[in-house]
């Protein structure tokens, strides 16, 4: 006698067959819902963290960012707000304060700087300045930008602020003003110290401030090899400088900016480059080795140059004179404060770029030259992408009673 299908079915399966069909259908639906939720979650994670984790570029460095310099637009980032030790990338802020001092006139390039005992005692990367040795400000900048000299850094800090501690306070103040929320400096050269921290995003921010406000930094950051002269009690000797940023020789569009390396920070780099009028800043932090940091920076820069399209409105825009109430004259001449720049991440159809005037409303005297009286708003495909301030080209004083009588008199007879 042939056994029935149920009798030949294993015990476990027979138990399942005893479950009512309606419950089985419900269990199947529940399983499908759970599977769908798992797939949706994985997809969401990939969408949200795919670029953040660096999967698209396969970067070795655990923290990185790519920024366009003229707009500050972020093109790519990976753990960019993670607080890490910045090593000698710290010197970007030191250089920024040096150029601030040059701009204000408080120091000059040909001014002498005397090296202190404290500055000469700095370890790590140095140019072996001796106590009492004198170098010019420009030579010190070269030592910092090219050779990453800690002794030159501290010498300049003391020269500008009196002490390194006072200079570091200025560094932190400047960082706060730039919105570098993940940064706190303890020294001016980047030696490992408790609490001395920054992030890839903050490094990009201060790098942008330095290269856009003081583009002359590239005169130093692009130097591959040079020499300085030591003049001390021992006599005169030449000392060679070699740029720590190998991209200056290896990447044809490189313009700087600063390397960093300590046992705590790993290998760091803020790399700047210009190609086809596009300037990019690539920052990599805590790379496992020097080769990786340069390779990651090149990957970032190549990605940026291949995916960025720069738009600039170079047209000379005529702004109509705006009416002024209560002034010695009834109108004020106006102009666009700056030209408009925008970075597209895909090639734009420039015919879809439009602009419109957005004035602040009635202008009340007095008006000072440079006052913002409106904006030129730019849109692409009906979506706003940025604006440029409209400012007064001249000052208009508030009319006194005598001025008002004079205006009425002139109007009556003319």
Annotated catalytic residue within 78, 91, 246, 258:
91
What tokens were used for 113?
A: 């700087």
Cβ neighbors of 157 (< 8 A, separation 6 or more) are: 94, 163, 164, 167, 168, 188
The verdict on whether 246 is a catalytic residue reads: no
CA distance to 347, 353, 366, 381, per residue, from 310 (Å)? 9, 13, 39, 17
Annotated catalytic residue within 63, 69, 80, 88:
88
* Start-end of H helices in 127-184: 137-147, 150-161, 164-177
Using CB atoms within 10 Å of the CB of residue 252, give its burial: 0 to 12 exposed, 13 to 18 middle, 19+ buried.
Answer: exposed
Q: What is the distance, to the nearest Å, from the Cα of residue 317 to the centroid of all Cα atoms in its chain?
A: 29
Phi, psi dihedrals of residue 105, rounded to the nearest 5°:
90, 5
The verdict on whether 292 is a catalytic residue reads: no
End-to-end CA distance of the chain: 127
**Cα–Cα distance for residue pair 338/133, rounded to 1 Å:** 45
**Cα–Cα distance for residue pair 385/387, rounded to 1 Å:** 7
CB atoms inside a 10 Å sphere around CB 177: 9
Annotated catalytic residue within 61, 63, 125, 148:
148
CB 124 within 8 A of CB 96: no
The verdict on whether 91 is a catalytic residue reads: yes
**Cα–Cα distance for residue pair 286/264, rounded to 1 Å:** 8
CB 338 within 8 A of CB 388: yes
The residues annotated as belonging to the active site are: 88, 91, 148
């Amino acid at each position: 006698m042939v056994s029935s299908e149920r009798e030949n079915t294993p015990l476990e399966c027979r138990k399942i067959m005893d479950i009512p069909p309606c419950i089985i259908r419900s269990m199947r639906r529940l399983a499908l819902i759970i599977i769908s939720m798992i797939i949706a979650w994985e997809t969401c994670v990939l969408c949200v963290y795919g670029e953040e984790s660096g999967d698209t570029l396969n970067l070795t460095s655990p923290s990185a960012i790519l920024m366009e310099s003229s707009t500050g637009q972020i093109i790519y980032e990976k753990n960019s707000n993670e607080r890490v030790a910045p090593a000698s990338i710290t010197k970007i802020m030191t250089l920024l304060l040096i150029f601030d001092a040059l701009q204000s006139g408080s120091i000059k390039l040909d001014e002498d700087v005397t090296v202190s005992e404290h500055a000469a005692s700095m370890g790590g990367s140095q140019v072996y300045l001796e106590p009492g040795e004198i170098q010019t400000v420009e030579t010190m900048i070269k030592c910092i930008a090219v050779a990453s000299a800690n002794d030159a850094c501290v010498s300049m800090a003391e020269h500008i602020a009196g002490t390194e501690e006072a200079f570091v306070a200025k560094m932190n103040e400047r960082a706060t003003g730039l919105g570098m929320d993940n940064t706190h400096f303890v020294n001016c050269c980047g030696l490992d110290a408790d609490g001395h921290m920054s992030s890839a995003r903050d490094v990009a921010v201060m790098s942008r401030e330095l290269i856009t406000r003081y583009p002359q930094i590239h005169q130093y950051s692009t130097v591959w090899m040079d020499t300085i002269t030591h003049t001390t009690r021992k006599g005169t000797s030449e000392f060679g400088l070699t740029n720590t940023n190998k991209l200056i020789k290896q990447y044809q569009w490189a313009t700087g900016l600063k390397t960093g390396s300590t046992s705590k920070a790993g290998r760091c780099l803020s790399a700047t480059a210009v190609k086809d009028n596009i300037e990019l800043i690539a920052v990599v932090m805590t790379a496992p080795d020097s080769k990786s940091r340069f390779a990651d920076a090149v990957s970032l820069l190549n990605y940026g140059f291949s995916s960025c399209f720069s738009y600039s409105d170079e047209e000379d825009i005529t702004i109509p004179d705006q009416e002024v109430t209560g002034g010695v004259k009834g109108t004020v001449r106006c102009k666009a404060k700056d030209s408009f720049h925008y970075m597209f991440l895909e090639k734009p159809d420039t015919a879809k770029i439009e602009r419109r005037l957005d004035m602040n409303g009635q202008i009340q005297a007095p008006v000072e030259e440079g006052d913002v009286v409106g904006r030129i708003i730019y849109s692409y495909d009906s979506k706003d992408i940025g604006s440029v301030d409209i400012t007064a080209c001249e000052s208009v004083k508030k009319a006194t009673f005598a001025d008002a009588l004079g205006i009425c008199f002139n109007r009556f007879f003319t």
